A and B are shown apart, each in its own frame.
Chain A
Amino acid sequence: MSPPRIALESGVEGERCLRLSGHWTLDSIDTAHRPSLGGDAGVGGKGDGTIRVDGAIEALDSAGALALARLIDDLEQGGARVDLTALPAGQRNLVELVKARLPPPQTPRPPREGILARIGRATVAKFTEGNAFLAFVGELVVRGGRLLAFPWRIRWREVVAEIEAAGLRALGIVGLLSFLVGMVMAYQAGATLADFGANILIVNLVAIITLREMGPLLTAIIVAGRTGSSYTAQLGTMRITEEIDALRSIGISPFDMLILPKIVALIVVLPLLTVFANLLGLLGGAVIAAYRFEVSFSVYFDRLPEVVDLTTLMLGLVKTPVFAVAIALIGCMQGMRVAGSALAVGRATTVSVVQATFLVIVLDAGFSVLFNLMGY
């Protein structure tokens, strides 16, 4: 395969001849530059008069045609008239087609914004985001309040489906992780307490931490990652495929049909999952206490009611509906804000998990302060 060659020859009576040869194809043209007169012909292309294109191009594709069209355009800019009649009809058609739609030599680029403009845009975006969250909460209160007055209007079928997806199917992962964290806590507590011969206090430590903090927090974070993200991805994809708009056009409020059932379901599910997580966490602690630190199961579970009471359990559980609302709200809001492309769904899902996890931990810290002030 020979590279494209150009030669500009002077003929009789000032008529010049552009002699072309070689393969004018994508693979034979130099990969970074197209052939040009300055480099390849060694003759300046300036001057008027007619230039006849001649020679035998062995193969021509649209890349070669583009290079040739650009060349002819340059010559014509210089004042010459280029005559293509000597080319075979097929090649001439192709060159003329490409030449008729020659792109501008420089690809137009949208002007880049200055640093101030970008800072401003980011700031406005943050405010808009906060605003959207408030608007979303407002809509929830108005619509949710109305539905609370007429609870038979809630779409219970959807609620039950969501409970199954977010609760029943999460039992495995929530249970396993709680069990493991219970074990880890018992190990760490036992290692220190055993030095003082106070092995029995493992029960106090594991039980209080599990019921008050670890159970609710761990469950909420797992649910934020597992269910909150799926809410965002589902609603975001439905936005892109215009399913949300389709619902609206049928006269079904997507808020009633999609969002409210998710929130109601999560409010039901999260406390239940937390109780389950508490149980498995305590069990994990018991296993390590029994096999590693000589606190038998019977001693462990005998002591349990002495160190924690119902208040401890409730102090943990009372936080969970708040977590549930936060997770569902952020998941749904991020999903409903998706616009444009598949990329936006991915981005919104990430933002949803980060924000939900962040908010859960912040809320938990707030509860700790509150309970402390209340004297618990």
Chain B
Amino acid sequence: MGDLDHITSEATVSPVARLSGIRNCFGHECVHEGLELELPAGRIIALVGGSGTGKTVLLRTLSMLRRPDAGRLELFGEDALAAGEDAQRRLRRRIGLLFQGGALFTALTVLENVMLPLREHTAVRGHWLEELAMSKVRLAGLPADSASKYPAELSGGMVKRAALARALALDPRLLILDEPTSGLDPIAAAGFDALVRELTDSLGLTVIQATHDLDSIWRGSDAVAFLARKRVLAFAPAVELAQRDEPELVAYFRGSRSAEYAKLELGRSAHTSGRT
């Protein structure tokens, strides 16, 4: 089982996912053309770009929900677009996806939502199944009594956490988050970022998150993939992107609020230059 040895052997060298020459079109409008991106293992990557640059479309391509009009998608070293149904199922098991609105099944309780993928993909049953699901609910930072609640009874932040618990159910290697902190207050958002970081480090995850949250971009991510001109215009830590002079990057990273972060972070990295 290659996907389970990630805890024992240290981060594998090969990238978790590799997109090359991706083209995504809607009718005559193309949002991506010749897009290239590699996700290094064990990192949290922020996917950033203005509205309509196709962040969600890219995440849907990555999670095999949308077949690109052209290009190649490699997941865990396998060609995902050429994979048969069984192979695709195996690949999907290694990907956890958190939808923008949570997309919890409204007819099921939180615990049942988390149990569903476990029941589908493993032979685990009975009390152990419940215990596993419950552990995921707690890992996502929800109190134990919320497990028996229905999604309609949860607050926005709790919905996101419950959706995270479901995305984590099968110990994915790649976690895809679509706007995980949108709609959360700054404190809850910071808590969510910290949670993702903690889980990434302990579970050996690779995370890609589409986000607009400056905190998530500057503090919660190791690198930023910046979408513009229908491709990934730049892929580097936020500190470096803030110093480049493509007009799109300047507009995004030297806007008034972003500039404050840049000043702060640049100052900090000057102090602790040994930090990576």
Q: Which A residues are closer than 8 A to B by beta carbons?
A: 1, 23, 25-27, 29-34, 57-63, 66, 70, 88, 90-91, 93-94, 97-98, 101-105, 107-110, 339-343
Contacts and interface: CB of A to CB of B under 8 A. Distances in A.
A339 B106 CA distance: 12
A108 B147 contact: yes
Contacts, number: 118
A90 B107 contact: no
A26 to B, nearest CB: 6
B7 to A, nearest CB: 5
Contact of B152 (A33, A90, A101, A340): A340
- Residue of A88, A91, A343 with highest tally of chain B CB at under 10 A: A343
B124 A31 contact: yes
Contacts of A101: 135, 138-139, 141
Contacts of A61: 4, 7, 171, 203
A31 B4 contact: no
B130 A62 contact: no
A342 B101 CA distance: 14
Interface residues of B, number: 42
Contacts of A97: 139, 198-199, 202
A108 B148 contact: yes
A29 B124 CA distance: 9
Contact of B134 (A57, A94, A107): A107
Contact of A27 (B4, B10, B148, B202): B4
A30 B134 CA distance: 18
9 nearest A-B pairs in the assembled complex, by CB-CB distance: A341-B106, A103-B134, A101-B138, A340-B152, A31-B123, A343-B107, A94-B202, A61-B171, A97-B202
B85 interface: no
A90 B205 CA distance: 12
Contacts of A91: 7-8
B106 A342 contact: yes
Interface of B: 1, 4-5, 7-8, 10, 106-107, 111, 122-128, 130-132, 134-139, 141, 144-145, 147-148, 150-152, 168, 170-171, 198-199, 201-204
A101 B165 CA distance: 13
A27 B1 contact: yes
B187 to A, nearest CB: 20
A25 B4 contact: yes
- Residue of A27, A62, A66, A108 with highest tally of chain B CB at under 10 A: A62
A108 B144 contact: yes
A368 B219 CA distance: 76
Given A63-B132, A108-B144, A341-B152, 10 more contacts: A30-B128, A32-B127, A32-B128, A61-B171, A62-B203, A70-B131, A101-B139, A102-B138, A341-B150, A341-B151
A188 to B, nearest CB: 45
A341 B141 CA distance: 24
Contacts of B144: 103-104, 107-108
21 contacts: A1-B1, A23-B4, A25-B4, A26-B124, A27-B122, A29-B128, A31-B125, A32-B124, A32-B125, A58-B8, A59-B8, A60-B8, A63-B171, A70-B131, A88-B8, A90-B8, A94-B203, A101-B138, A103-B134, A107-B131, A341-B152
